[in-house]
Amino acid sequence: EAQVTQNPRYLITVTGKKLTVTCSQNMNHEYMSWYRQDPGLGLRQIYYSMNVEVTDKGDVPEGYKVSRKEKRNFPLILESPSPNQTSLYFCASTGTGISYNEQFFGPGTRLTVL
């Protein structure tokens, strides 16, 4: 089954404790991205990657890191989480060209930073 998976689905952590949210897709997609979703603000792109070893900042990259060492995986790293990073996070992937292809979203990761 074609899908995007994220882990963990739910996470409660404390300020400053490094964490990684994994994202994996099995559709051989080149383009992957991370979004956060907050009430009243909609989905905002954090980082995106057009292919292996190619990453770029989205609209809200501060406090986040990503890597793309393999085509299928695109982990999101919070080196020192803060309460304002409490949010619902989605990973998504698409074939070549974000402008022309639908994105497939993972199920989401609900993160709470205390």
Partner 1 sequence: GQNIDQPTEMTATEGAIVQINCTYQTSGFNGLFWYQQHAGEAPTFLSYNVLDGLEEKGRFSSFLSRSKGYSYLLLKELQMKDSASYLCAVTSGNTDKLIFGTGTRLQVFP
The residues that touch partner 1, with contacts defined as CB under 8 A, are 31, 33, 35, 40-45, 48, 50, 56, 58-59, 90, 98-100, 102-108
CB proximity list for 78: less than 8 A, separation 6 or greater: 18, 19, 20, 21, 63, 64, 65, 85
What is the smallest separation between the CB atom of 82 and partner 1, expressed in angstroms? 23
In this complex, which beta carbon is closest to partner 1, that of residue 35 or of residue 74?
35
Q: Which amino acid is at 92?
A: A
In this complex, which beta carbon is closest to partner 1, that of residue 81 or of residue 106?
106
The answer to whether residues 88 and 58 touch, using CB atoms and an 8 Å cutoff, is no
Q: Which amino acid is at 61?
A: P
Strand order in the sheet with 19-25: 4-7, 19-25, 76-78, 65-66
In this complex, which beta carbon is closest to partner 1, that of residue 8 or of residue 16?
8
What is the smallest separation between the CB atom of 3 and partner 1, expressed in angstroms? 10
What is the smallest separation between the CB atom of 58 and partner 1, expressed in angstroms? 6
Other beta carbons within 10 Å of 29: 21
What is the smallest separation between the CB atom of 15 and partner 1, expressed in angstroms? 25
In this complex, which beta carbon is closest to partner 1, that of residue 16 or of residue 41?
41
